[in-house]
Amino acid sequence: MPTGARDRSKPGKFELASGGVLLLDEIGDMPLPLQGSLLRVLQVNQIVWVGGTIRVATDVRVICATNQPLAQLVKAGRFRDDLYHRLNMLPIEVSALRERGDIEYLAEKLLARISSQLAKPSLKLAAKDCQALLWHSWPGNVRELENVLTRLVVTGKLLLSSSRLSPVPVLKSPSPLLKERIHSLAGAEIRSALERTRGNKREAAELLGMSRAHLHLYRIMKTQGIK
């Protein structure tokens, strides 16, 4: 199979990863013929070089990543059912960036890393920049955040598309970090959101990056003395 491809001197991916871990990114985009080849490798722990007949034993732990709903792809006939069940041993679902409560923390860590890589002075996010990050809908998730912060390091300006300041999906259950952010909300931030939504509490809650049920907006407004 191509992932075990080898010429006379080069080992393929599975050979190189033998005894270790191989990450297969964007597994949902893998063509069906290659899915069959991958399934055979996972079942027998052997590969065959392209154009060859010799079977080579391999011992690899495989981690797959995708941003697509594999179960739906299976129903649509675009992903093999047997491969899906073979890979779905220990699923780990990573929430979208807009659904997480650690954007500021993550931004600070990324800023430090990006500044170091570009040999630039370390930057500290201003309060207004932190608020902009929290309001952004992040359709590009962490990759988009990295790009935004890289531009900030290079240009000194935080550039976000205002068209992406949109309501976010309702969360099923708030994370501990999100709970901390909820309880630390300042009255000024709530007032600002209410002004932008002309007093619409539901839209204000969504603008702040969470559902009204999670925000408990009415209760927080009462404790903050906001009517």
Q: Quote the tokens at residue 117.
A: 């890589």
Q: Quote the tokens at residue 202.
A: 């539901």
- Alpha helices of 97-186 — where are they, by DSSP H? 103-117, 127-135, 141-155, 176-183
Cα 63 to Cα 28: distance, rounded to the nearest angstrom: 13
Whose tokens are 């920049």? That residue is 129
| pLDDT average, residue stretch 20-39 | 91
- Asked whether residue 171 is domain-assigned, the answer is no
Whether the CB-CB separation of 207 and 219 falls below 8 Å is answered with: no
Does this model's pTM top 0.85? no
Residue 212's pLDDT is what?
46
Residues 142-153: tens digit of each pLDDT: 889 999 999 999
Which of these three, 38, 69, 87, is where a domain ends? 87
Query: pLDDT band at residue 175, thresholds of 50, 70 and 90?
Result: low
Residues 114-124: tens digit of each pLDDT: 999 999 988 88
Query: Closest Cα to residue 39, out of 17, 64, 20?
Result: 64
Which of these three, 87, 111, 130, is where a domain ends? 87
- Asked whether residue 169 is domain-assigned, the answer is no
| pLDDT average, residue stretch 140-169 | 76
- Alpha helices of 19-98 — where are they, by DSSP H? 32-44, 70-75, 81-87
Residue 59's pLDDT is what?
87
Query: pLDDT band at residue 173, thresholds of 50, 70 and 90?
Result: very low
Residues 55-110: tens digit of each pLDDT: 888 888 999 999 888 999 999 999 999 999 999 988 888 888 888 778 888 999 99
| pLDDT average, residue stretch 17-45 | 90
* Whether residue 154 sits in one domain with residue 83: no
Residue 161, φ and ψ in degrees, nearest 5 = -80, 120
Cα-Cα end-to-end distance for the chain? 66
DSSP helix/strand/coil, 62: strand
Share of the chain above pLDDT 90, in %: 25
Query: Cβ of 79: how many Cβ atoms within 10 Å?
Result: 23
* Whether residue 83 sits in one domain with residue 6: yes
* Whether residue 196 sits in one domain with residue 128: no
Range of the domain at 24: 2-87
* Whether residue 192 sits in one domain with residue 155: no
Find the CATH number of the domain harbouring 51. Answer: 3.40.50.300
